[in-house]
Structure 1
Amino acid sequence: MRVDIEEVSVEIAGARLVHEVTLRAGSGRVLGLVGPNGSGKSTLLRCVYRALRPASGAVRLDGDDLHTLSAREGARRVGALPQESSAEFDFTVAEVVAMGRLPHRGGFASGGDEELCAAALARVGAAHLAQRGFLQLSGGEKQRVLIARALAQQPRVLVLDEPTNHLDIAHQLEVLALVRDSGLTVLTALHDLNLAAAHCDELHVIAQGRIVASGTPGEVLRPELLAEVFGVRAHPVRHPETGAVQLLFDRLTDPVHP
């Protein structure tokens, strides 16, 4: 499913946080948003999973305006892992993952739902947690369970806001490889530029609510741009096995006061 973000602006409490952003995620592609803290990445993604309505512009799924769809239909098409997720009640992990099936149910859960949820937990390496209380889990375990819930939803578009939060390096790599191999259209915000370079087809750099660069990781992750946007000196190298762009970083030294 193709996602088109067309001249989207977002205002909250009278402040404009996103300014006329236009970008396209082709069907089955992994699109990454990168930028410093407060740049507007999460705000823009919240429009794609309907937590926010744009002040102007539109988000379209294969041409359909997302915000004209019913809540159920929107949830069938778009699954999300927000940056901050909370649960007030100590549901079991199996119950949390089963919530991903709600958009597809006409009534009670079916045996097929249980199989889908079990398969989703297995895909993120969390099958052994099924009967544990969600609130008893570590941050990394919770993150994997919430990704399983999004997969159990069987959306056609997956929106992930910092999906590697709280995960150790092995699970970071496993989750991003799983997402990349899912065949879904994926929009994700990532702080780690090396993970973004390795797992995204395209990157969009956002600063102060505006897209300032777009393209493949090799085209976007240029030292001069990273110095301007992130305030660091970057040294691009190639991964010895995959050939993907990877970055080594130094502080950006003031030439007047080294």
Structure 2
Amino acid sequence: MTAPLLDARDLAAAADGLHLVYPVSLSVAAGDRLAIIGPNGAGKTTLLRMLSGMLRPSSGEVKLTGRLLDRISTAERALHIAVVGQTDQPDPRLAVIDYVELGRVPHTGRRHRSEERDIVVEALRRTGLLPLLGRTIGSLSGGERQRAQLARAIAQEPKILFLDEPTNHLDPRARSELLELVAGLGMTVIAVLHDLALVTPFATRVAVMSHGRLHVLAPPREALTQQLIREIFGVEVFRLRHPTEDRELTVFEVPNRAAPSS
């Protein structure tokens, strides 16, 4: 049996006497796309930050390729892990190509300069940003900026890509396109997602969080059951045949609790 790329055991977080995340154990294999979902305050981002090494857990451990994550230096960790967070605020004056090139900083001196530039250009190509490489970050739209952040992370050549609500502030089409792009990279990805409709097309496995606890860890169809979605999110889920294509649609709907008119 192949060892997991990332392995977490009894991972927990607490602050000021309050439990933010109760003990969680999970593993991620190479090529997995794990979506962490749950209501606001469920502990999703806290869990992601512990898994990525950005937050030291109150208890438990994380291993990356069999090594304890907290024993790997920050510099070496950057060779294996890339994070695209909610609060990334790049200098708006930076040219897109210069911003993406920052992803190569952990690899400084490891390759010839021409090879480094080729990696950056390839990251721009894969994210559709080659035509914009000379533009400044501040001149980009929200969707273009998200793709620039993703391109920087791709240029970092990580073993695992962490995404914290990467579709925030994007319109529905841009959300789907961004996650389709990520899924097509063939990378191992751990992503916090808040839009349930995006989970099934993107994820190979789903971790459902609520009140700091991991309730389910399973493939999307097994995780997103009617009962669990109703209990955790307070919404209904329906699976319907697509009217024009040979595939299934998953529809989420907030129950109508309005009192009937008299």
The alignment's TM-score, normalised by the length of structure 2, stands at: 0.89
Aligned residue pairs: how many? 256
Aligned to 1:115: 118
Aligned to 1:7: 10
Aligned to 1:247: 251
Cα RMSD (Å) of the superposition? 2.2
Q: Is the 8 A contact 1:21 1:210 kept in 2?
A: yes
Aligned-pair CA distance for 1:74: 0.5
Letter in 1 for 2:67: D
Q: Is the 8 A contact 2:235 2:252 kept in 1?
A: no
Is 1:101 aligned to 2:113, yes or no? no
- Please list every run of 5 or more consecutive structure 2 residues that lacks an aligned counterpart in the other structure: none
User: Which residue of the other structure, out of 126, 129, 143, is the alignment partner of 1:126?
Assistant: 129
**How far, CA to CA, are the matches of 2:133 and 2:252 in structure 1?**
39
Q: Secondary structure at the residue paired with 1:85?
A: coil
Q: Is the 8 A contact 1:223 1:236 kept in 2?
A: no
**How far, CA to CA, are the matches of 2:173 and 2:29 in structure 1?**
28
User: Which residue of the other structure, out of 75, 85, 91, is the alignment partner of 2:78?
Assistant: 75
- Please list every run of 5 or more consecutive structure 1 residues that lacks an aligned counterpart in the other structure: none
**How far, CA to CA, are the matches of 1:211 and 1:252 in structure 2?**
28
Single out whichever of 238-247 and 92-101 deviates more from structure 2.
238-247
Is 1:54 aligned to 2:53, yes or no? no
Is 1:24 aligned to 2:27, yes or no? yes
Q: Taking structure 1 as reference, are residues 242 and 197 closer, same or farther at Cα in structure 2, changes over 3 Å only? A: farther
**How far, CA to CA, are the matches of 1:25 and 1:206 in structure 2?**
16
Aligned ranges 1:174-253 → 2 under 5 Å: 174-238=177-241, 241=245, 243=247, 246-251=250-255, 253=257
Letter in 1 for 2:250: Q
Q: Taking structure 1 as reference, are residues 211 and 244 closer, same or farther at Cα in structure 2, changes over 3 Å only? A: farther
Superimposed CA distance per residue, residues 29-66 of structure 1 (whole angstroms, 9 cap, x where no aligned partner): 11111101111111111122222111111111121111
Letter in 1 for 2:212: G
Aligned-pair CA distance for 1:237: 2.8
Aligned to 2:138: 135
Aligned-pair CA distance for 1:108: 9.7
Aligned-pair CA distance for 1:252: 5.8
Q: Taking structure 1 as reference, are residues 65 and 243 closer, same or farther at Cα in structure 2, changes over 3 Å only? A: farther
Q: Is the 8 A contact 2:92 2:139 kept in 1?
A: no
Q: Is the 8 A contact 1:90 1:133 kept in 2?
A: yes
Q: Secondary structure at the residue paired with 2:40?
A: coil
Aligned-pair CA distance for 1:135: 2.2
% identity of equivalent residues: 37
The alignment's TM-score, normalised by the length of structure 1, stands at: 0.90
Aligned-pair CA distance for 1:209: 0.9
Q: Is the 8 A contact 2:37 2:206 kept in 1?
A: yes
Single out whichever of 243-252 and 151-160 deviates more from structure 2.
243-252
Q: Secondary structure at the residue paired with 2:82?
A: strand
Q: Taking structure 1 as reference, are residues 53 and 143 closer, same or farther at Cα in structure 2, changes over 3 Å only? A: same
